[in-house]
Structure formats: structure tokens, C-alpha cells
């Protein structure tokens, strides 16, 4: 998933920087996405070597995680839809991407609790701050719209890349044990 989202946010950044030399710096994100896909494929390959039987407690925990992940994901989709609808109807369509980034950032907070991972709190805070800055930059017209897109895209691509790198490191640990 982080390969997909990193690519999407990097694409948004590219749309803001495509006419500048800085666009070349964005190549790091597709390269990271390839790494994430390779690591994910390696995990799927070795997963079939692990026993299928799990304890009742593990089954209950997987069910709990799946339920809450679904709820948070649904709330994220709903939040993005409502947020975009609100800003467009208030006459601020330029806030569409900053609002989307805000909801994405906020969704990491409950994920931290669901998956019991501290990194999600850091990613949530980073992404939310980037989004709030994007909203302020847009409303105050502190920079051109294409630079705001670049700011949001790079900021969120950094977040998803950090998440992907975290997961890749975990995968490397699992693959070497």
C-alpha cells in the first residue's frame, strides 16, 4: 500500500514541480515504491512457509484489527468526501488537496492504537502539520498554488516513504530470521 500511496503523493508533487529542475529530485519516491513492492513480494513468497494454525487469541486479535481497520478506512473515505464537499461548497476548491492530506494525516492516529505502533503517531503528526500548513499557505496565498501542491505531495510522500521503509526494515528482519 505504501508503494501506491507514495507514488500518488509524489505524482501530486510532480504536478507542482514538473516545470522545474527540482522535479528530478522526486525520482527517489518511485525508486522507494519499487523497493516496497520487492519487499512485499518477498514477504508473500515466504508467507506460505509459515504454519496456518493460530491460537484462538491470535484469531480474535486479527478479527479485532480487521474490524477497526475497516472502520477507520471507511471513516477516512467518508471524511475525505465530506471535507472536499464542504470546501467546494464554501467556495474554496483550492483546499481540496490540503483537506485530503489532513484527513490522511488524522487517520494515522487511530491506526497507531489499532496496530500498537508508535511510528503511526509520528506519521500522523507530520502529515497533519503538513496539511495544516498547506491550508494556511492556500488561504493566505503565501505561495503559488503549484508550490503548495509540491509541498503537500513531498510532505505526504515523505510520510508514506517513512512508513514503507519502516515496513521494509521489519520485512528484512523477518526474512533473515
Q: Are 101 and 155 in contact (CB under 8 A)?
A: yes
Cell 501542491, located at residue: 149
pLDDT at 59: 85
Q: Are 138 and 160 in contact (CB under 8 A)?
A: no
Q: How many domains does the chain have?
A: 1
Cell 491550508, located at residue: 135
Query: What domain range includes position 42?
Result: 2-46+57-176
* pLDDT class of 1 with cuts at 50, 70, 90: confident
Task: Please name which of 38, 16, 39, 13 lies closest in space to residue 26, comparing C-alpha atoms.
Answer: 13
Predicted TM-score (pTM) of the model is: 0.88
% of the chain at pLDDT higher than 90: 70
In a domain, 51, yes or no: no
pLDDT at 112: 95
In a domain, 125, yes or no: yes
Mean pLDDT of the 35-53 span: 81
In a domain, 52, yes or no: no
Amino acid at each position: 500500500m505504501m508503494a501506491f500511496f507514495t507514488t500518488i503523493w509524489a505524482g501530486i508533487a510532480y504536478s507542482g514541480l514538473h516545470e522545474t529542475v527540482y522535479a528530478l529530485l522526486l525520482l527517489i519516491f518511485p525508486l522507494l515504491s519499487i523497493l516496497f513492492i520487492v519487499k512485499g513480494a518477498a514477504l508473500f513468497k515466504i508467507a506460505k512457509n509459515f504454519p496456518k494454525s493460530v491460537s484462538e487469541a491470535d484469531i480474535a486479535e486479527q478479527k479485532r484489527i480487521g474490524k477497526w481497520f475497516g472502520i477507520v478506512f471507511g471513516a477516512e473515505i467518508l471524511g475525505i468526501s465530506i471535507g472536499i464537499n464542504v470546501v467546494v461548497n464554501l467556495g474554496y476548491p483550492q483546499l481540496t488537496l490540503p483537506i485530503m492530506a489532513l484527513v490522511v494525516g488524522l487517520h494515522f492516529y487511530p491506526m497507531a492504537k489499532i496496530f500498537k505502533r508508535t511510528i503511526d503517531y509520528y506519521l500522523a503528526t507530520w502529515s497533519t502539520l503538513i496539511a495544516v500548513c498547506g491550508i494556511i499557505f492556500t488561504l493566505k496565498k503565501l505561495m503559488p498554488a503549484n508550490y503548495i501542491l509540491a509541498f503537500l505531495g513531498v510532505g505526504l510522500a515523505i510520510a508514506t516513504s517513512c512508513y514503507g521503509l519502516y515496513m521494509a526494515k521489519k520485512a528484512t528482519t523477518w526474512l533473515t530470521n
